[in-house]
Structure 1
Amino acid sequence: MKAVVADTLESIESYKFKDLEKPAPKKGQVLIRVAACGVGYVDALVALGGYQVKPPLPHTPGREVSGTVEAVGEGVTNLKPGDRVMTMTANGFAEYALAPAAMVISVPQTLSFAEAASLPLNYLTVSHGLKDRAALAAGETVLIFGAAGGVGSAAIQVAKALGARVIAAASTEEKRTFALAHGADEAIDTDPEGWRDRLKALTGGKGPDVVFDPVCGPLFELAFRSLRWRGRHMVVGFVGGPIPALPANLTLMKGAALMGVDVRQHMEKELPQAIATLQELAGWAAEGKIRPPVGTVYPFDQFGAAMEAALSGKGTGKVVLEVAADGGA
């Protein structure tokens, strides 16, 4: 099979196509013919050695895949060859990928392979953050940073499915329009000058109940200061640059919580809960409650451009790598 491989994490140019032996599923495993692979900021960061956990070498990027079941290992009875599926696994930039059967989720007919490859990691991250950590309740207001990106747009949809009011923060008019088109109730710019006043006007002077923040940029402290009493600020990532600090007294003054959302450790330590959430999300997709916004789709031989696009944060929706032009059929 063809796969994207690097022996060093020095640069995107380190990654090249290699011909590898097609793997065979072992007991409890599923072999998937990959149709599409989602490409996020973290995927590109990991590929360049910039994430806090560095991957073993040689490295093949990509964690979110969709496609069709090619073969199943011993003991796998809930899936069969030809089934449309999605999963999170390693080595997604390849024509075939192995995954534990428990992590392989059937793809609803309502989703394309590109949409399915945009769902698992982003929507699991968001559900873990908004449901498990923030305990977001119907009728509450959530402010979402990076609202036009893959994680941010997923947060809009999950928050709306939970009955919340959504204010989308984005840097350009194009991105704010995109966020509104995908379910946000209101949109706000990210110019720090007078920003708290504009946010206050959108919340009737009360501020948001929850901040969902995959950016943690220049507005980090201003957002926390804007929270209502007993507000919750979710720290999801740091695409906004240097990691910000927060005066500890603000948590006391607001009766508020600053909470981390680490989906990697959630899966390591609470896997059964994560799998149940993925099944729930697939059900929501089948019901039309969520639909991943796909951004630019790159052909397999443009894997480098796909990683660069994901790293830039300039686009809208989720970057997707189309591994099989025939959809993996």
Structure 2
Amino acid sequence: MKVFQGRRLGAIEDFAIEERASLPPGPGQIRVHVEATALGFVDALVMRGLYQVQPSLPFIPGGEIVGRIEAVGDDVEGFTEGQRIASWQFGGGLAEQAIVSAASSVAVPDALDAAGASALILDFLTAYYGLFDRGQYEAGQSLLVTGASGGVGSAAVQLAYASGGRVAALASGDAKIRHVAGLGAELVLDYRNPDWRADLKTRYPGGIDRVFDPVGGALFEPCFRSLAKHGRHLVVGFASGDEIPRLPANLPLLKSGELAGVDARYLGESDPARVRTILAIIFRLAERGRIRPVIDQRFALSDAPAALRALASGTRIGKIIVTP
């Protein structure tokens, strides 16, 4: 089978299409014929050796995998050959076949195509876990989403809107602002405008109940200052690439507010059953048209280097999908 792998971490040029023998699944494992793999910000970090966890080598990028089951290992129950499943793991997806853990796999409804299902996995899992598990977000509450045109930000906008929330969002540029408004945000502000906080306060004079923040950077403190009393700021990541921000300790006191970390990787390691439950909910919501995957570009496996370069595009809106 063909795989896109690297024998060392570094630049995209350190990875190449190679031939590898097909492997049988071990106990608790499933071998799938890969139909689609979604790529995200984490994939680029892992390939460059900049992620907090270093993979074993040789390494195949792509952990958001959808495929048809070819074979199941011992002790695997509830899955059958030919069934379409989704799985989230630490790489392995940029290949014609992948070995995945049954414990991290969930059935994909027939109504969803493979590319669309793969585009839902990590971003919507992170957004759902952040909003409802860590954030205790409820219908009618106000929410401010930073980086709202990005993958996890746009997922948070859609999930909050689908649950009956009032969504404000920060983005930049007319195209991204229009896109976010189309996902259900009732107010979309350009964060490059120095008066964005004043405009936010006009719409929400009592403050924002929750902040969903995958960006960090210079937006971090102004967003926390925009919280209502007893508000909660969800720290999802630091996509800005700036220095990790700090918060004056008196602000949580003045707001009676909270900071809550959102680490989907920890959830996957500590509670895979919860991951499966959340993914099943997400797929049902998509099947019913309550949420939708956002795909920017699709690439063949042979064009994997171009797909990974596309991750860095400042105009990208949605996921990058690779199909064998």
TM-score normalised by length of structure 1: 0.94
Q: Would you say 1:58 and 2:61 are equivalent positions? A: no
Q: Tell me, what secondary structure is at the counterpart of 2:94?
A: coil
Q: Would you say 1:234 and 2:242 are equivalent positions? A: no
Q: Would you say 1:143 and 2:144 are equivalent positions? A: yes
Residue of structure 1 equivalent to 2:194 = 193
Residue of structure 2 equivalent to 1:287 = 288
Structure 1 residue 313: deviation in Å?
4.6
What code does the residue aligned with 1:85 have?
Answer: I
CA distance in 2, matches of 1:276, 1:84: 17
Q: Tell me, what secondary structure is at the counterpart of 1:66?
A: strand
Q: Residues 149 and 313 of structure 1 are in contact (CA less than 8 Å); yes or no, is this contact kept in structure 2?
A: no
What code does the residue aligned with 1:259 have?
Answer: A
CA separation of 1:161 and 1:130: change in aligned 2, threshold 3 A:
same
Residue of structure 2 equivalent to 1:113 = 114
Q: Tell me, what secondary structure is at the counterpart of 1:266?
A: helix
Task: From the two aligned structures, give the one with the greater strand fraction.
Answer: 2
For residues 186-235 of structure 1, what are the alpha-carbon distances to aligned partners after superposition, in whole Å with 9 as ceiling and x for unaligned?
211111511210111232x1221111111112211111101111111111
Q: Residues 87 and 100 of structure 2 are in contact (CA less than 8 Å); yes or no, is this contact kept in structure 1?
A: yes
Q: Would you say 1:253 and 2:254 are equivalent positions? A: yes
CA RMSD of aligned residues (A): 1.4
Q: How many residues align?
A: 322
Q: Residues 157 and 183 of structure 1 are in contact (CA less than 8 Å); yes or no, is this contact kept in structure 2?
A: yes
Q: Tell me, what secondary structure is at the counterpart of 1:311?
A: coil
Q: Would you say 1:214 and 2:192 are equivalent positions? A: no
Alignment of 1:1-329 (within 5 A): 1-89=1-89, 90-191=91-192, 193-203=194-204, 205-242=205-242, 243-323=244-324
Q: Tell me, what secondary structure is at the counterpart of 1:302?
A: helix
For residues 269-297 of structure 1, what are the alpha-carbon distances to aligned partners after superposition, in whole Å with 9 as ceiling and x for unaligned?
12222222122222222222222111111
Q: Residues 104 and 275 of structure 2 are in contact (CA less than 8 Å); yes or no, is this contact kept in structure 1?
A: no
CA distance in 2, matches of 1:208, 1:318: 28
Identity of aligned residues (%): 41
For residues 37-73 of structure 1, what are the alpha-carbon distances to aligned partners after superposition, in whole Å with 9 as ceiling and x for unaligned?
1100111111111111121221111100112111112
Q: Which runs of 5+ in 1 are unaligned?
A: 324-329
Structure 1 residue 137: deviation in Å?
0.8
Q: Tell me, what secondary structure is at the counterpart of 2:76?
A: coil
Q: Which has the higher contact order (CA 8 A, sep 6+)?
A: 1
What code does the residue aligned with 2:290 have?
Answer: K
CA distance in 2, matches of 1:50, 1:202: 40
Structure 1 residue 179: deviation in Å?
1.0
CA distance in 2, matches of 1:218, 1:81: 50
CA distance in 2, matches of 1:199, 1:52: 35
State which drifts further: 307-316 or 43-52. Answer: 307-316
Structure 1 residue 310: deviation in Å?
1.8
Q: Tell me, what secondary structure is at the counterpart of 1:27?
A: coil
CA distance in 2, matches of 1:222, 1:77: 49
Q: Residues 110 and 285 of structure 1 are in contact (CA less than 8 Å); yes or no, is this contact kept in structure 2?
A: no
Q: Residues 104 and 272 of structure 2 are in contact (CA less than 8 Å); yes or no, is this contact kept in structure 1?
A: no
Structure 1 residue 114: deviation in Å?
0.9
For residues 108-164 of structure 1, what are the alpha-carbon distances to aligned partners after superposition, in whole Å with 9 as ceiling and x for unaligned?
233221111111111111111001111001100111111112111111111122221
Structure 1 residue 262: deviation in Å?
0.7
What code does the residue aligned with 2:72 have?
Answer: V
